[in-house]
Structures are given as C-alpha cells and as structure tokens.
Structure 1
C-alpha cells in the first residue's frame, strides 16, 4: 500500500506506539486521524484529533462517519490491567477483551465499507508475542491477543476480495507506559517498531515480527506445551 497520500485512522494515538505510528504516517505524507478517548490529549502537529472509545459502538459509528475518507485503519489501542483468569475480577478480564478483541472487530466492521468505498486499502492490527505465548501471570491479556490473532487471520481472508489487506504486528515489550515495570534492556524502541510496522504495511506483509523474542516464539509454535 502506498502510504503517501493515504488517509489513516490510528486508535490510541495520544501516546506510546500509537503516537509514533501517527507521527511517522504524517512524515510519510499521509493524512492522519489521531483517535483517542480524550482527543485534547493528542498533541501531534499535522494530525486531526478524533474522539473515539473503542469499547463504545456509537463512538465508533460516529468516527466512521467523520473519517469517511479513511484508507488505512490502525487498530493500536490496547488495555493490560494485569487481570488473573482465575483469581481476578471477571469484569477486569472482560474489559481487556472488550478493548483488545471486540474493539478491533467492531472498528474493522465499521470501516470496511469506508475503505472499500475509497478504492481499497489496509488494516493493521497491533498484536503481541503473547498472541502465541500464554504465561499464567498474563493469562487474560494473552487470551485477548490470541483471539485478536485469529480475528486478524480470518479478516485477511474475508476482506481480500474487497481490496483490503490485513497485517498483524507482533511485538514483545516496548518502552511505553504499559511496560514501565520491565527493565530497559528488555524493551524495544517504539519509534523503531512503528517504522518497521509501516514498512510492512507498505510492502503488503501479512505478518510483521518486531523483535528477536517474537521471532523465537513464532519459530517454537510447533513445540508441545511444556516441552524444552
């Protein structure tokens, strides 16, 4: 996909990876809707702030009506609240699934006719190495990313005839608020991840692996659970 003169909507664009994605899209010559629940927190030059709550279907419908020239949807907004699958509050688990799975699903459903009507384009889903690795301590979050991985693969097949390519970005820890507790030497630079992701979208890659950890885990998918 040619990113120059593309029209992108980036969710969670007010901070972290989403902010870098929005900024770099502007640098590439794209028009960018920088979506956030509180658009007043978007401080990037050259973007159009847009109010959007990915857990609110009415908010999504309004965003699709406003951003009616979109050709690239970036499902970046995410939630990790540390919920335990079996000792945490079920509502906390549900909140992660609403943000990380249902949010991209409903957004993609809303923007598919928009992107198709604009001549086609692409969807980028920001996933995780935890789409494939499911440690108990992050069981709820991992379950949502595994579900989003399945959503991405199914979407790719279903949307291809409508002229919409679907890419998945899988990444481990990044130097963002979500991974503030992780040692710095274990985290990727989100600016570099954003650049890698956008190159992947431009090249039409179905899957973008952002770091060595993610590549190792992907290679080990055929290993039986619990095996060395």
Structure 2
C-alpha cells in the first residue's frame, strides 16, 4: 500500500518507536494519523488526532475503533517490559506481559481488521522483537509474550489473506528508547525502525528484520539451541 494518503493509527505514540512512527507517517504524506496512548496528554506532536487508548481494556479498544473508523493502517506498537523469574517471582508481571503483547494486540487486530477492510484494505504492523525467538535470564515473561504475539501475527496474516490486508511482523533488538535506557549494548535508532517498517508496508513485506542481531538470532533457530545459549552461561 502507499503510505501517502493513508489513514494510520499508532498505539503507544507518546514516546520511543511509536513517536517515530507518527513522525515518519506525517513525513510520508499520510492523510491522517491517530496518535494514541494511555495518557494522551503526553502526545505532543503537531498535526495528529490524539486518542486515549489502553490496549488491555477492550472497551477502550472498541471506543478507539469507533472513533477512528477511517483507518487503513494500524501500527501495534504499545508495549511493556518487566524483569523476573518465571519460576520463583510473582506471576502478576508475566500476566501483564501476556495481556499487553498477546491479548491486547490480538484485540486491536480483531477490532480494526473489519475497519480496514471496509475502507478498501490496507495493512497492520505488529512491533515484535528478537526476543520472539530467544530468551535471556530475566526476560522470560517478555520473551514468552513476544513469541506468542509472533505466531499470532502469522496466524492472523493467514486469516486476512484475500481480504486486502497485509500483516507485517517487525523484529528488532535494542532500540535507543526510554524502555532500554539501562541497556549498555548496541542500540538501533527508533526512527530507522519506523522507516524500515514503513518501507516494508509499501512493498507488502510479511516480515521486517531491522538489525544484524535479530537476523542472527533468527538464523540460529536452525541450529542446536545449546550452541546459541552457550553465550548466556
């Protein structure tokens, strides 16, 4: 699809990758951009229509779908990250991860796919992670939720085939955002993440792998897991 002239909705657009998606969409000539956030007062980008949205609250999702009935491009970016052990820590945070990344984004797809189809078709982007394909100590809840979201992305892509809606899975390692402020390794520019993803939307790509780290993790899936996980020993 063409970004120019599209009507886009971006979740979690008050900061980080979501904010860069909004800026890129405006730069590329989107006719309208709905910038959504749980705290809409934090969205400070000119030229957008701001909507409140909590993707873990189905009533909030339904209200957004009703208000943004002209959407042709949905960017599911909103997310959280928690740390802890799947075996010994309280499971509250793990459930929050799954409620956000799997159930929340599935609810967005279910609510907006009919909207996009009524408007003549378009695209959905699910912002995933290299952690869709691996885990490191302390990342279990996030990694499990992203893995679930990854295969959910594959499943809804199959279901939307023939309905004029492409579905992109977007994978990256660490981005230079507030969420990754404590990470000391290489970080990708979030503006570059948004640019590459929207390039992929325009060519109908089912998957966009942003950085070498994510590409390497994906390639490692064909090998014995002991070889990959030796680096975390």
Shorter-chain TM band: over 0.9
Q: Name the SS of the counterpart of 2:195 in structure 1.
A: helix
Number of the residue aligned with 1:163: 164
Number of the residue aligned with 1:186: 186
- Cα distance per residue 1:107-164 (max 9 Å; x no partner): 0000011000000010000000000012232011000000000000011110112111
Q: Distance in 1 between matches of 2:208 and 2:84?
A: 27
Q: How does 1:53-68 map to 2 (within 5 A)?
A: 53-68=54-69
Q: Name the SS of the counterpart of 1:202 in structure 2.
A: helix
CA contact (8 A) 2:82 2:139 kept: no
Number of the residue aligned with 1:21: 21
Query: Tell me, which stretches of 5 or more residues in structure 2 are unaligned?
Result: 229-233
Q: Name the SS of the counterpart of 2:13 in structure 1.
A: coil
Q: Name the SS of the counterpart of 1:49 in structure 2.
A: strand
State yes or no: 1:97 paired with 2:71.
no
Number of the residue aligned with 2:213: 213
Q: Distance in 1 between matches of 2:161 and 2:178?
A: 34
Backbone CA RMSD of aligned residues: 0.9
Deviation at 1:77, TM superposition (A): 0.3
Number of the residue aligned with 1:44: 45
Number of the residue aligned with 2:155: 154
Q: Distance in 2 between matches of 1:78 and 1:13?
A: 11
So what's the TM-score if we normalise by structure 2? 0.95
So what's the TM-score if we normalise by structure 1? 0.97
CA contact (8 A) 1:84 1:93 kept: no
Runs of 4+ in structure 1 deviating by more than 6 angstroms, as ranges, are: none
Number of the residue aligned with 1:226: 226
Which range is displaced more, 132-141 or 117-126?
132-141
